[in-house]
């Protein structure tokens, strides 16, 4: 299945937005003294997963340069 450039860029934007939102949520949870540690770990894990997906998408968007 070939995904076109437009779809890759839209997916990248969605992942980056979710990553940024999770970053804010994590910061807020850390500031709360009675924060849910399990929720915090889940957010951090999801944030790392998104980072990996963002890197993969960016690699797909950059054309291969012949050596």
pTM higher than 0.85, yes or no? no
Quick one: pLDDT at residue 3?
A: 63
Confidence check: pLDDT of 63 > 70: yes
Residue 1 has pLDDT above 50, yes or no: no
Tens of pLDDT, residue by residue over 5-52, are 889 999 999 999 999 999 999 999 889 878 788 999 999 999 999 999
- Domain assignments of the chain as residue spans, ordered by start: 7-60
pLDDT of residue 51: 97
Name, in order, each residue with C-beta under 8 angstroms of 55's C-beta and a sequence gap of 6 or more: none
Question: Which class for 4: exposed (0-12), middle (13-18), buried (19 or more C-beta within 10 A)?
Answer: exposed
CA dihedral over 40, 43, 47, 49, signed as positive or negative: positive
d(CA 35, CA 58): 34
């Amino acid at each position: 299945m070939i995904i076109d450039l437009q779809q890759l860029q839209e997916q990248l934007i969605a992942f980056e937005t979710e990553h940024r939102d999770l970053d804010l949520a994590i910061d807020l949870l850390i500031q709360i003294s009675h924060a849910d540690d399990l929720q915090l770990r889940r957010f951090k894990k999801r944030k790392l997963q998104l980072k990996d997906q963002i890197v993969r998408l960016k690699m797909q968007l950059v054309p291969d340069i012949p050596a």
